[in-house]
Structure 1
Amino acid sequence: MRDVVDDTAFRGALGRFASGVTVVSTVVDGVDHAMTASAFTSVSMNPPQVLVCAHKVSRFHDAVLESGVWGVSVLAEAAQEASAWFAWRGRPLDGQIERFAHHRGDTGVMLLDDGLAWLECRTAAVHDGGDHSILVGDVLAARVHEFEDTPLLYYRSHYGTIMRSDASEKTYRQGER
């Protein structure tokens, strides 16, 4: 038997996990669908796979299941407005991407120009995740913005960016600290 978890405490605990911000997109019958997602991570290096979680009642969810391909724009700090826009549920689909500079990937998905990196994926598996579906994607293409290095971060419902430290995980493994 599972203990009942306090909803407020659960949300509060999750809010204390800082994450990067992505916009995930797909296209069905010429109509773009996109959503802001911080529930995104790498799965495997070989084969290259990532995952994203999509709310089952969202328009994006049904569209990405139908299309089978999706793009991920890993957002730079400059894309804060785009992040907020694509997080807004119920925004009009018509013209929704026109307000942000973007380009099309080889699969036809929309990728935001204000990104640090871009991935194009084909859905490899879909897993039940309660009120979300966990979409695992085979990465078909990966590109990075060589001259931009200011990530957009999300923490406790607020946007932020990083302050770099000289230390890294390698510093501690090499005993340099």
Structure 2
Amino acid sequence: MTWSQAPGGPDVDRFRHAMGRFATGVTVVTTHDAGQDHAMTANSLTSVSLDPLLVLVCVETESRFHDAVLAAGVWGVSVLAHDGRAAATWLATRGRPLHGQLDRIPHHRGPLTGVPLLTQALATLECRTRQAVPAGDHVVLIADVLAADLSEHAGDALLYYRGRYRTLD
């Protein structure tokens, strides 16, 4: 397979495969708006700054999560452990029912924001959106980190590589 760039740039599939060779952690990003919990699986979380504490996540503009997280202004991040594959798969499923989507996943409310946070996460963050930057078919949410908590049960992280969930071996 050649990796040379076509005159108009790489096609979507080639780009997707190239990015799939970049291993990432897996998170669930959550918010609460108009009496409803919203959640999505994301591997686009990035630490941005230590002073002030900032993170970013990318959200597809056509997703239900997009409108909810912009309206709420606050969101949570749950860093998934190796046994979080079922939650990650479920919350990445397009067209899943909105009502009760977290019913099968143990979670609790963040003390500062009230957003749902996954109980079995390796770490959780509570965030307040500072800036929303349109970027193609996504919006980049840059947020102040209001709280960071670590699990008492350290374990291996769930990873995403070449289109599949994996664990550290």
Same fold per superposition (TM over 0.5): yes
Residue of structure 2 in register with 1:143 after alignment: 149
Matched residues in 2 for 1:136 and 1:129: separation?
A: 12
2:133 pairs with 1:127: yes
Residue of structure 2 in register with 1:104 after alignment: 109
What is the letter of the counterpart of residue 123 of structure 1?
T
Residue 149 of structure 1: how far off its partner (Å) = 2.1
SS of 2:31 mapped into structure 1: strand
Q: Show CA shifts across 1:116-139 (max 9, x none).
A: 000000000011110000000100
Residue of structure 1 in register with 2:35 after alignment: 30
Residue of structure 1 in register with 2:100 after alignment: 95
Residue 157 of structure 1: how far off its partner (Å) = 1.3
Structure 2, unaligned runs of 5 or more: 1-6
Task: Report matched runs for 1:54-65 at 5 Å.
Answer: 54-65=59-70
Residue of structure 1 in register with 2:4 after alignment: none
Matched residues in 2 for 1:8 and 1:160: separation?
A: 21
SS of 1:60 mapped into structure 2: helix
Structure 1, unaligned runs of 5 or more: 164-177
Runs of 4+ in structure 1 off by over 6 angstroms are none
Residue of structure 2 in register with 1:160 after alignment: 166
2:78 pairs with 1:73: yes
SS of 2:62 mapped into structure 1: coil
Q: Show CA shifts across 1:26-75 (max 9, x none).
A: 00011001000001110001110100000000000000000000000000
Higher-Rg structure is: 1
SS of 1:39 mapped into structure 2: coil
What is the letter of the counterpart of residue 145 of structure 1?
S
Residue 8 of structure 1: how far off its partner (Å) = 1.7
What is the letter of the counterpart of residue 136 of structure 2?
G
Matched residues in 2 for 1:144 and 1:80: separation?
A: 19
RMSD over aligned Cα, in angstroms?
1.1
- Identical pairs, percent: 56
Residue of structure 2 in register with 1:86 after alignment: 91
Q: In the comparison of the two structures, how many residue pairs are matched?
A: 162
TM-score normalized by the length of structure 1: 0.89
